[in-house]
Copies of this chain bind each other. A is one copy, B any other.
């Protein structure tokens, strides 16, 4: 018997490859190609460092207030954490304590299964159709909760409120999480449904549309009771998940709506251009509501294109997983990066 016998046994989530060099095009982690709001940067560079001797506001009170106001909610309806992964893992713990399985699509954010494994939550993965569409009627069965990413990842497909209503109406007795990590890039938010459904919880991130992946801020919105349960989970793990600098920077980002809208518009414009050009080259690409596209080619396998692009120092994401192993997830870069990608593809696909 050794101390090693009691070590955790789990298959962890593997994030996008981070090459150990600097001169490459990175389109594999759905990062924003543009910097954060200059106001957010200013908040960091003007931060009164002496304040760091004190613990941060444990519940990120001012940040939460700012987010709540922005979305027309009350502070009691918002929880902020150390990135959406932190927020979602606390949500899983706070909400999914039933013996019945929670339900989510077989093709969706791959951290879902990891959280279920580590937290001992039973789960069932519901098959999306051949075009990667989620059938909302499939979520009408005994369950301990539902998790839907809308828009979904890595498929990039966004759905409307009618779709969400079907799922919500069939699931009044469990928490339905709608992960809106990518919603700002053209998705339809479930926020208007919060008034109607007190079991709806929406999660968001500052990592994508707010260009603050390096800062780690995510948040959840829901009814007072639902949010209180996330606080209970948080207070049982790590009292102070969001540091003082991040709280200030987050507030500044939220307050700079103009820059936010401009950045998003640029990403969307590049996405539409990239989609059109790649479709002309024979790629099949669903309409994206996100800052990435999900592409497969009629003649070349995703793996070979992935390897080829890597040899050209362009990193996109390829998932070696059933059903999606012939697809590439390509994050939207700057126009220059997109041009480089298109040129490389053109050379490959004569």
Q: List 23 A-B contacts (CB under 8 A).
A: A6-B95, A6-B96, A6-B97, A6-B144, A7-B229, A7-B232, A10-B236, A12-B231, A13-B236, A13-B239, A36-B52, A45-B46, A51-B214, A53-B214, A82-B241, A85-B240, A86-B238, A86-B241, A89-B238, A214-B243, A215-B243, A243-B243, A243-B245
Q: Looking at the complex, which of A26-34, A63-71, A186-194 is the stretch in contact with chain B? A: A26-34
Contacts of A6 in B (CB 8 A): 95-98, 144-145, 174-175
**A6-B96, A7-B97, A172-B3 in contact; A49/B31 too (CB < 8 A)?**
no
On whether the beta carbons of A82 and B238 are closer than 8 Å, the reply is yes
Contact with B along A260-291 (1 / 0, CB 8 A): 00000000000000000000000000000000
**A118-B93, A240-B85 in contact; A41/B31 too (CB < 8 A)?**
no
Q: Which of A1-55 contact B (CB under 8 A)?
A: 1-10, 12-15, 18, 26, 29, 31-36, 38, 40-41, 44-47, 49-55
Per assembly, the copies of the chain total 2
3 closest A-B pairs by beta carbon, nearest first, are A41-B49, A12-B235, A214-B244
On whether the beta carbons of A36 and B53 are closer than 8 Å, the reply is yes
Output the nearest chain B residue to A216 by Cβ-Cβ distance. Answer: B243
Contacts of A238 in B (CB 8 A): 82-83, 85-86, 89
Partner of A213, one of B54, B144, B214: B54
Partner of A55, one of B3, B4, B29, B41: B29
Cα(A55)–Cα(B213), bound, Å: 5
A residues sitting closer than 8 Å to B (CB atoms) are: 1-10, 12-15, 18, 26, 29, 31-36, 38, 40-41, 44-47, 49-58, 82-83, 85-86, 89, 93-98, 114-115, 117-118, 144-145, 172-175, 198-199, 207, 211-216, 225-226, 229, 231-246, 249
Known: A10-B233, A38-B49, A53-B212. 6 other contacts (CB 8 A): A2-B173, A41-B52, A82-B238, A89-B238, A213-B240, A216-B242
Candidate in A8, A33, A118 with the most chain B CB atoms within 10 angstroms: A8
Cα(A231)–Cα(B231), bound, Å: 25
CB distance from A333 to the nearest CB of B (A): 11
**A44-B245, A118-B93, A235-B13 in contact; A53/B211 too (CB < 8 A)?**
yes
On whether the beta carbons of A243 and B246 are closer than 8 Å, the reply is yes
CB distance from A299 to the nearest CB of B (A): 33
Cα(A141)–Cα(B41), bound, Å: 54
